[in-house]
Structure 1
Amino acid sequence: MTELTANLELNNIMSREAPKERSSSFRTPLRIGILIAVLLSLGAYFTADFAIQNAKEELLAELQAREEITAAGKNEVMTTWIDSTGRKASQIASHPLFRLFADEVNRSDSAELPRPLANQLPYMQNAISSFVEQNNVVAAYVIGRNGRAYLASTGSPSLTDEQRDLAVRHYSQTEIAAVNARESGKDLLIDFLVPILEAQSAAGANPAVVGIMVMTVSAREKIEELLRPSALSMEGEETWLFQRDGDRFFMADSKSETYFSKQPASGMTADFTRFALRDISTTNGPLYSVGVQLGNTNWVITQGIHEKEALEPLERYSVGIWIVAVSTVLVILSILAAIWLTLRSQNNKAMAEQYKELAHKINAQRRLLGSINNTIDDLIGLTDTAGRYVYANPSLARFVNFPVQSIAGKTDRDLFGEKAARAMGDLNQVVLDTEQTQNTIMEVETDNGTRILRIEKSRLMDDEGLFMGIVTVAGDITDFIEHQRMKERLGQKTISVLVRMLEANDPYLANHSHRMSVLANNVARVMDLPTETRQAIATGANLSQIGKISIPSEIRTKDGRLTDEEMDIMRGHVASAESILAEMEVDAPIVEAVAQMYERKDGTGYPKQLEGEEIAMSARILGMADILIARISPRSYRQEVSVEEAMEVFRSNPHRYDQDVVAALDDFLQSPEGEDFRNSLEQDKNPS
């Protein structure tokens, strides 16, 4: 510690006035001293224990959030894999010849296939076997309504009664389902039930299910990939897979004769979704864990961290707290002892000497407290009125790669570089102007790369209220921020996959979201909207059509105009989009933009008939971009229009469309970039 900080702390503790003489009737100082020592010790004990318990609760809350996020992320990865794997079978199940064959078999009443169908059987057998081989699938079958497998891939094992029953019951559904997650020796298998729809159906009627394709897929490699620790895993943090059988849970164990252990894990109970300390018999000691069930399978993914590693930061914190408590008691007792000694003295000179001795003791105790401060991970520094450092703890010295002794006298520019120094200087000025503590998050370049700091700055005042300097406390949150960014990237990838899948299955939506994004982003740029609004527009454009996943394909891709009933169904995609985005925890401004983009200023839009300023600016821009891109694209029931014709509709209907947005659209489309955009639209409509 420097002389400045030592003197400051001493002045805060010592009184500026000499104590009054004590009465000669004070005959029991020893007893009073013992009583005070006992009370101080009890107070320090309960205060320290309270602080430690609060720190433990905060630590466990952070761990719970981390483990729940990680478990949910891994469950989302597996769910996405299951969904994408299940759609593989649609490649063959939706083939017209395959559907026609299944339709004819379904119509046949005889136990034996008619000769024409029997003649086609080898070709269909070869097709399903080729599908299994090309897609690395374990087996595939086609089951009739009577539970009979009239097609099976070459080398497929015999169907179980359970598989047949599940297939027969699935005839009432038209969606792909993943069921019957089971263990097979050292492998893990999932059965996918894929409905085969009739080749032709009556006008306006939904196609009937004429066959069920059962596809059996190995999930072992994907599960083992999931269980491997990631680069962001903490020490002692692990992922486990359990197979649930009623209230019993069997852990995945590569050393077992089968994939799952034969003995149930004693610590796993039906409340596995609750974050708690569990002593699972097959793990090394108790651990804090939380679990999620993988879709409609009988598998449970559990994410946890061993108790020892989880509470290691708390142990270090507890040691520091107890040292502070003991030091505080010693300091107070030292002060009281010094006061008692001075009150016993009638000689001013002796009293002054006692105060001097007391000052040395207090400084020693303060140095002890300073050494405790030096052990914490946060970066702590004190700069004087000229902006030069007078104190830095070892954590700060290690961060900037300077010896502690050499930091005194240096500035932020010397320690952090020009860019960070300017930002810190601006923050210092805000602290001085507002006289309030300020917080910010800042990126700093170091020898170990870019680090992200959470910085708090506040003024340091003396007893007279005079400004002495600025205290800086910073924490390195790089690892936490990187974890959050990884989660966001995972969410964006999931969104991208959903959008591409939708556009790939709807000829009217091909490249629609991309064009919307380009147009809406440029309009937002022309209007110079705030960054948050522009981000909502950019992301909202890519998500604008996501709700149409829930709309039947025969309505989305219908050649003619939709009926009133079909239009009501189509408009339901807005509510579906809002629900999907809410479940994905997408930011509220983005959900608002997507949910309101079909509203109009005069209240004629849907789904809530909002008017005027009730509609967010981001939604107005997306809505007009969506209309323009859609109108310039041809449909079977109408001709496409030019960009200028679409713009004229906007200009001539000011009661429906925001004219500020219309003006921004005109500005962009008349710019060189807008000309390039219009040319690209024409090329897409008239490919060479």
Structure 2
Amino acid sequence: MTNDADRSINSSLDPAEAEAVWWRNWRLPALAGGVLLAGAVGVAAIMGLVNSERERDLRAWQDQLGLVADSRAADVAQWVAGQKRDIAALAGNASVQLLLTELAVVGGNVADITDAAGQVQYLRNLLTLTAERAGFETHSLAEDLRANVDLPDQVGLALLTAEMQPIVATPNFALPPIEVMPDSPGSTVLNLQAHPEAGVLLTLAAAVPALQPGADDTTVGLVVGRRTAAPGLYDQLRQPGLRIEGLEILLVRPQGASIEYLSPLADGTPALGRRLDRGTAGLAAAQALKEPGAFLKSEDYAGTSVLATGRPVPGTDWLLVAKVDSAAALADIEARANRLLLVLLLVLGLAAAVVLVVWRHGASRRSARSAQLYAAAAAELTRQRHLLQVVTDSQPTAIVILDADGNVRFANALAAERAAMTAEEMIGKSLGAIVGTAAAARTLALSERALEGGEAVSDVWRIEGDSSVQGGRRIYLADHVPIPPSDDLPLGVLVVERDVTAELTERARRESTLDALIMTLVSVVDRRDPYAADHSHLVGDLSQRLAREMGLDETDVETARVAGLLMNIGKILVPEDLLTREGALSEAERAKVRACMNASAELLSDVSFDGPVVETLDQVQERIDGAGEKGLKGEQILPTARILAVANAFVAMVSARAHRAGLPVDEALSELLADMGQRYDRGVVAALVSYLDNKGGRQHWDATAAQ
């Protein structure tokens, strides 16, 4: 009856009034339907947003796991290559090849070789030094004998004949069974094995070629090494500076129809303690073996859902797998989806409650308010942009923001000045249109690298033929920093170019002046002591060579060289008659010479060097066992000071002086070896032996001693 009444009333009204009555009757259902429709659209939008962000997070995890896997696989490969180099270096050592070749000729009887005892002793010393330096053995024989303890027989180095008979080995090293043999002279193989007492051991074997003409393809013996895999190998699986919940990096290898886990697992399983069938459905390691480099959503050894990727380790049959618990990795996006849905439901409820109150306010009033807010926001944005322009225009660098297509989105005053146009004219134009295609190619390529890698990229470039600077060359330093997209700017790259010509020119001038001053000081000292005229240069040269042999960075290499040149500056305080006197000096006179030489660090204390030159000179008289004046010992002494102590002692022993003749190289080495671990650092002495025997140093110093 109500509908009939409404129809009756409407029939008595004109069309306009009837339409108004109809709207009043249906406006609440229409508003309710609008709220429900908005809710449905909101749910769909939220789900779409969540899916989009989930895909973005997956891409981010793909990039992050890929970077971690590439980094760790490279470090593992580098570590393995280092172990192989140590073994291969011994296999290529001429003394090793000579003894094994002679044994092959006489049928393996050591007694038939002239000076066999001397060769064996030398090679035993070489193996011991190499084992301690390279990590195959951590205790010297002399230290263990003094401690009256048993030596471990699981690790060390050994030389074998072609018939697998041991000839020389490090102390108490028991020969392991050789499971994988090198297939040709000069090749090196390795294998991981579980040991009940020592844990996981890495065994390496390298074939030794014959030392005779035309016999490069003849194997006369083997160099065998065994060391613990922990901590060296497994330390490479830790990503420095990165903490991710649920991240695990592990090594696996195929073993027939199985997959063997080579590293300790997060569930407490030891290395080599688990094997799984390669056919296990959804197993991350199995899929990674089939598709190295692919990004996988699968399960780990414990059945946990993970995100994973794998990388082969060059030089091995190993595969490095980086994985992260997918629940932990995607926890943020799932929590975000739940929060958004909850907020949506609350908003819908609130909207339904207040829609009847606020709809009467009218669109005009809301529009006016929105216009005011928009105007205020636009004014604030304009103010911030003006501030940004003022700040960047005051910088002594050219600043440009490029989008992903190479178009300019921002430029400061200096960038506009170099482009010979205003900053406003540059906005929206491609960089190639502004500076030319050829000139823009380098900048665009580096910007693309920054966007692809997601991290800053730096570059140094030069412009030749600039007559306004000395030398005609202007040098620029450019940084390309990726910028994530925002409301104001799309994805882009911040390019900052700085003219560093004056800085580099001043630095080169300062370094040249300092080097000239050093040479002048050395020349002054050398003129006062003709018997040691070349001592400073020889010590500086040898210190530099030993620092490089030990793998120090360039700053420490230069520090060792400069400290070697300057360590005798204190001689200017020594009376000249003591320096040139023939015959032995008294103990008091020697003490006076040492005191004056120790003053080198004090004399140079106010000179600014790039490296710790003064600190090196101050510590050069310290002893490894802590018996020096300052009581420093071991690693407390700078590496450069330890190097300089060995270099100075060696040069002094092989060089003639006013009161004595120089020692032969071998006698000097014997004295250094006798004091190794007490006065001199074991690693530096080993580096000296390697330099003399493997880098041509013996011939050089034999000639020096003869002079």
So what's the TM-score if we normalise by structure 1?
0.42
Q: Which has the larger radius of gyration?
A: 2
